[in-house]
Amino acid sequence: MYTQAMSVGPQDVAAQTKSAEEAAREAAFEARIDAGDFIEAKDWMPEHYRKTLVRQISQHAHSEIVGMLPEGNWITRAPTLKRKAILLAKVQDEGGHGLYLYSAAETLGTSRDQMLAALHSGKAKYSSIFNYPTLTWADIGVVGWLVDGAAIMNQVPLCRCSFAPYARAMIRVCREESFHQRQGYESLLVMMREGTAEQKAMVQDAVNRWWWPSLMMFGPADKDSPNSEQSMRWGIKRISNDDLRQKFVDATIPQAEVLGITVPDPDLKWNAQTEHYDFGAIDWAEFWRVVGGDGPCNRERLATRVKAWDEGAWVREAALAHARKHMNKEQVA
C-alpha cells in the first residue's frame, strides 16, 4: 500500500511522458507504413514489429539451409553430369539464400549464433515441407516444380515487404527461385516425354506425395492465422495465405496438364463462375502434426543440422583466428 503511494512520483510522470513519446513514435511509424515507405534497420520500429521480423526472417533462413538436405541427398545419385551440375548449383543457391537472410535478420539485433541455437534446440521452426523425404529421382524434379514454385508464390510479395533489408534480399532470392522451379519442371518434362513407363509412373508417384504438403506451405487457413492480420497491416505480408494458395493452384494445374500428370485431389475442378480452380480439403491434422515435430523426417533433419554444426566447429575457429590475425596485422601497419 505504501509502496503504491510512494510509486506515484517523478518516475511515473517520466513513464507517462515516455509512453506519450512512444505513442507519437508509433503513430509516425504507422504513417510511414501507410504511405508505403520502406523501413531501414537503423530506423525506429515498434518492438513487436522487430520481433515479428526476426522470427519470420530467421525461420525463412532456417528453411533455406534445412531445405538443402532433402535435395543434397540426391547429388551423388543424379542420373547425368548435367543434372548433377544443375542440382549442385541449386543446392548452393539455397545455402546462399540462408546466408542473405541471416544477414538481414542480424541487422535487427539478433546474432546468428542466437538464431542457430534456436534452430538446433528445436525452438525455432523451419518450413515443414522439408520434413518429407525425397524417395526417388523424380522427387527432385517435383520439389523444384512444386516446392520452389510455392516458394516463389510466397516470396514475390516479400520483395515489397516494408522492412527494406528483407525486401532487398528477396529480389535476388526470387530470381534464383525462378531458375529452381524451371529446372525442376524441365526435368519432369523430359521424363514424361522421353521416359519409360516406369519413369512416368515415378513422376506421378512423386506428385502424389508432394501435392498436399506443397499446398500446406502457404500456412494455415486465413481464419486460423491470427498473426497474419497484424503482418498485413505492417506491410510485412501483402497477400493472405488462402489467396496465395489459390494463385498457386491456378498457376500449377495447367502446368500439370502439359506434363500429363494428375494431382491427387478428386474434388479439383475448374469453376467457370469464380474463374479459379476449386480444390479439396487440406488435412490440417497432418499439417499441425508435422509443424509440431512429428513429420516423417523432423528428427533426422535436426540431427543432421546439429551434426554439421558440431563438425564445423574447427572451420569457425580457424576463420575467427584468421580474421584476428588479419586485424592485428592491419593495426600494426
Angle (CA) 247 251 257, round 5°? 145
At closest approach, how far in Å is the CB of 314 from Fe ion?
28
Kind of pairing, strands 276-278 and 269-271?
antiparallel
Beta carbons of 249 and 216 less than 8 angstroms apart: no
- How many CB atoms sit inside 10 A of residue 305's CB? 19
> d(Cα 31, Cα 300) in Å, to the nearest integer?
46
Nearer to Fe ion, 148 or 265 (CB): 148
Among positions 97, 237, 245, 301, the unique one binding Fe ion when judged by CB under 5 A: 97
Among positions 71, 139, 177, 265, the unique one binding Fe ion when judged by CB under 5 A: 177
What does the per-residue mask of binding to Fe ion show for 39-68, with x meaning CB under 5 A?
Answer: -------------------------x----
At closest approach, how far in Å is the CB of 46 from Fe ion?
29
Q: Is 180 in the site for Fe ion (CB under 5 A)?
A: yes
Nearer to Fe ion, 45 or 151 (CB): 151
Q: Is 71 in the site for Fe ion (CB under 5 A)?
A: no
Among positions 68, 148, 167, 188, the unique one binding Fe ion when judged by CB under 5 A: 148
At closest approach, how far in Å is the CB of 251 from Fe ion?
16
Among positions 94, 106, 139, 265, the unique one binding Fe ion when judged by CB under 5 A: 94
Angle (CA) 148 154 155, round 5°? 85
Nearer to Fe ion, 39 or 152 (CB): 152
Summarize as ranges the residues that interact with Fe ion (CB under 5 A): 64, 94, 97, 148, 177, 180
